[in-house]
Amino acid sequence: MSTLAARAERAAAVAARHADAVDREGRFPEEAVAALKAERLLGLQIPSQFGGEGAGLTQIAELCSTLGHACSAAAMVFAMHHIKVSSLVTHALDSAWHCRLMERIAREQLLVASSTTEAGIGGDLRNSLCAVETTGEVFALGKDASVISYGAQADLILATARRNPDAATSDQVLVALLADQISLARTGEWDTLGMRGTCSEGFRLEARDVPVEQILPKPFAEIAAQSMLASSHLLWSSVWYGIASYAVDRARAFVQAEARRRPGQVPPTALRLAEVSNAHQAMRGTIVTALRRFEDAHGDADTIGSLGFCVMLNNLKVTVSDMAVDIVRRALSIVGLAGYKNDTPFSLGRPLRDVLSAPLMIGNDRILANTAKLLLVQKSSGQLMSA
């Protein structure tokens, strides 16, 4: 039995080998995902009684970082998959159908995608226009999903929808839809600056005659507050950390090569490297602190759903996404033209284009506006070593 780190490294090596092609061709990182399945890394979070390994978010975060170092798109697919799995693990243990689903995810290494974004609603997670239409023991759902990352490649999609056609737009449920239960008609392309391999295309999603037991019993409002917000920001941040680390490693190698060429001198770029190393450590500290606070909460819904915790997670996302861009950009300025070119050992074009998505995926302004509202009632900034 090899260690988790060794399994992750093997999958990351495959991802790294194909990262440039995935980016250039704007295609799904199929080799990397096949390697993740072969290493059985898609079922890690599933509890052991369902055939998984019961891994916590911290272990998943470490893997996101390892993969982010190799291929941003593969890492983001892995992160998004595990964000959805964390919703199942946290909220579906009292549903027999979803427990069997978790067994299947672990056994068959099913890839799980998410459909929240909708035409007319945009990226506002907590509102839906489409609605579950129940007839007896089955339901139908039609959704103009303007983005479903790797929707065409996923084995399973967790989609938000209104509870019924009369429900308010915020009265949502989460439904599990297997690939063979739905039809997806492509309505939008994913031809982007970076993160080209996530294939976050638009689709018209149609599902018919799906058993109602596939609707998660918990209201989506609870799922969003208690597992999705935390898992999204923690795992995305870890992917961005991996991308930033790759750039810092390139810059370090470049400075060291310069130092070897001129023994006895400290290259001028070394000072810039020291600055980047400083920012990189601060970024790491921010993520690790947030992961520790999450682990310390031990899944307590009141802590994780509290206003202070939400402010902390919002701040994590804004800080880390901005730092990631800054670090990669500074690494590029150290490496210079060798980083700007696409065919050198120091090329940083792909990671720079990829990381530019970080402040945009859930725009930082939208998150800051949400924090601003929460701060209207928060009373204290907490202690140094505790919340």
Partner 1 sequence: MNITQAIRDILGSNEAFAGKADQLSEDDSLFDMGLDSFGSVQLMLALEERFSVEFPDALLNRKSFATIRAIRDAVSTLVRQEAA
Enumerate binding residues for partner 1 (CB under 8 A). 126, 168, 170-171, 219, 221-222, 225, 301-303, 305-308, 310, 370, 373-374, 376-380, 382
- Nearest approach in angstroms of CB 199 to partner 1 is 31
CA distance 314 to 90: 21
- Nearest approach in angstroms of CB 168 to partner 1 is 4
- Nearest approach in angstroms of CB 83 to partner 1 is 19
Do the Cβ atoms of 148 and 162 come closer than 8 Å?
no
Name the residue nearer to partner 1 (CB basis): 67 or 313: 313
Name the residue nearer to partner 1 (CB basis): 194 or 305: 305
Helix (H, G, I), strand (E, B) or coil at 156: strand
Do the Cβ atoms of 85 and 36 come closer than 8 Å?
no
Name the residue nearer to partner 1 (CB basis): 74 or 310: 310
Starting at the edge strand found earlier in the chain, the sheet holding 133-135 runs 133-135, 138-149, 200-211, 182-188
Do the Cβ atoms of 124 and 133 come closer than 8 Å?
no
Name the residue nearer to partner 1 (CB basis): 121 or 327: 121
Name the residue nearer to partner 1 (CB basis): 193 or 368: 368
Q: Residue 258 is encoded by which pair of tokens?
A: 């310069």
State how far the alpha carbon of 16 is from the alpha carbons of 25, 28, 48, 72, in Å: 15, 14, 30, 9
- Nearest approach in angstroms of CB 159 to partner 1 is 19
Helix (H, G, I), strand (E, B) or coil at 44: coil
- Nearest approach in angstroms of CB 164 to partner 1 is 13
Q: E-strand spans in the chain? A: 112-115, 133-135, 138-149, 156-162, 172-178, 182-188, 200-211
Name the residue nearer to partner 1 (CB basis): 181 or 378: 378
Do the Cβ atoms of 101 and 43 come closer than 8 Å?
no
How many CB atoms are closer than 10 A to CB 344? 14
- Nearest approach in angstroms of CB 138 to partner 1 is 23
- Nearest approach in angstroms of CB 264 to partner 1 is 57
Q: How is residue 131 annotated by DSSP?
A: B
- Nearest approach in angstroms of CB 171 to partner 1 is 6
- Nearest approach in angstroms of CB 303 to partner 1 is 8
Q: Residue 101 is encoded by which pair of tokens?
A: 């689903």
Name the residue nearer to partner 1 (CB basis): 344 or 370: 370
Name the residue nearer to partner 1 (CB basis): 137 or 300: 300
How many CB atoms are closer than 10 A to CB 351? 29
Name the residue nearer to partner 1 (CB basis): 96 or 377: 377
Do the Cβ atoms of 138 and 172 come closer than 8 Å?
no
Length of the chain: 387
